[in-house]
Amino acid sequence: MKLDWEGSAQATVIPSRRFEIADCDLKDVVANLSYVSDSLKTARNVAIVVVIAAAVYFLPNGGRAASTFEALLWVAFGVGIGYLGLRVYRENRVALHGLGDRHRGLLYGGLAGAVFALTARPRMWRTGAGELAWFVLAGLIVAALLAVYRHWRAY
C-alpha cells in the first residue's frame, strides 16, 4: 500500500523485473546462438573443402574428377555471363536501336573483336608479328567502341 499526497491509500503494482531480465537474457542467448551457428557453418564449409581436396589427392583419377568439376564451373560461369548479356540487351534495347545500323554494327563488332582478342592472345603472343597484330586489333576495337560512345553521347 502507498499513500498519495491527499492521504488516501492506493495499491501500487510493481512490475516484475524478472520478465525484462529474462527477455534480455533470451536476446543474448539468441545472439550467442547465432554467433555459434555462424562459426559452425564456417567450420562445416572448411571441412567440405578439406574433404574434396583429400578426395582429389588420394582417390585414383582424382585429377580427372577435379578437371571435370572445373569444366562444369566454367560452363556455369559462361552461362551466367550470357544471361547477364541478355538482360543488359533487353534493358537497353531502345537505346541500342537508337544508335542506328552503322554504330550498332560497330558496337557488336567491337564486342566480338574483344572476345576474339582475349581468347587469341596467348597464341598470338608467341611471335613478334602476332603480338603486333594483337595490339593493332586491340587499338581498332578501342577505336570502334569509342566511336560508338561518342555517337551515343551526342544526343
Strand segments (E) across 4-155: 9-10
pLDDT digits (tens, 9 = 90+) for 83-96: 999 999 999 999 88
- Phi, psi values for residue 154, rounded to 5°: -75, -15
Q: Which of 58, 34, 35, 38 is nearest to 46 (CA)?
A: 38
Q: Can you tell me the mean pLDDT for 106-122?
A: 94
Amino acid (one-letter) located at 99: L
pLDDT, greater one: 17 or 26: 26
The yes-or-no verdict on residue 16 having pLDDT over 90 is no
Task: Compute the distance between CA of residue 12 and CA of residue 45 in angstroms, rounded to an integer.
Answer: 56
pLDDT digits (tens, 9 = 90+) for 33-42: 666 677 788 8
- Phi, psi values for residue 59, rounded to 5°: -80, 145
- Provide, rounded to the nearest whole percent, the portion of the chain with pLDDT above 70: 76
Where are the domains positioned within the chain? Answer: 1-58, 61-91, 99-155
How does DSSP assign 97-122, residue by residue? HHT-HHHHHHHHHHHHHHHHHHHHHH
Q: Can you tell me the mean pLDDT for 92-106?
A: 92
Task: Compute the distance between CA of residue 21 and CA of residue 26 in angstroms, rounded to an integer.
Answer: 8
Question: Containing H/E element for 3?
Answer: strand 2-3
Read off the pLDDT band of 126 (50, 70, 90). Answer: very high
Read off the pLDDT band of 19 (50, 70, 90). Answer: very low
Please give the radius of gyration of the chain, using alpha carbons only, rounded to the nearest integer. 33
Model confidence, pTM: 0.56
pLDDT at residue number 127? 92
Q: Can you tell me the mean pLDDT for 62-79?
A: 88
Grid cell in block for residue 50: 578439406
